Amino acid sequence: MIQLKNRIFIMGILLFSSLGAQEKQRIVVINEGVIGLSMMEGRAINNYIMDEVSRTGAYISVSIIELNRVEYSGCLDDACLAELSQKIGVDSFLLWTLNKKGNSYKGNFTRYVIREENS
């Protein structure tokens, strides 16, 4: 039941944030940090989120292989994300965190969009 609620929550956020989009947008899913879980569990959750994002039909998740190809270092500041956006041609990012304490989980999902400024 928890898995289903999470799936609906993630898909709902992305679908409502993409209303009006005509074609599938590429999006980068970035794990900002996981507390209380192993590194392997964090990677598995990130892969799960990437799959769910792609299942919405509104987005195509950028693969880890593509991120490695452009030598993404994991930085999260505005300048770094803007540079990454230009390198791979993506303007949407889904940043997420997860904190496990005992039997409770607390997650945060933020959709971050890079917009080009008009000169």
Q: Three-state SS for 21? A: coil
Task: Report yes or no on 119 lying in a domain.
Answer: no
pTM of the model: 0.77
Determine the structural domain holding residue 108 and report its residue range.
2-113
Task: Report yes or no on 103 lying in a domain.
Answer: yes
Which CATH number goes with the domain that contains 101? 3.40.50.10610
What band does 47 get if pLDDT is binned at 50, 70 and 90?
Answer: very high
For residue 57, is it left (φ>0), alpha (ψ between -120 and 50) or beta?
A: left
What is the mean pLDDT of the segment spanning 9-37? 73
Does the pLDDT of residue 28 top 50, yes or no? yes
Condensed to tens digits (0 to 9), the pLDDT of residues 81-105 reads: 999 999 999 989 999 999 999 988 8
What is the mean pLDDT of the segment spanning 13-33? 72
Does the pLDDT of residue 3 top 80, yes or no? no
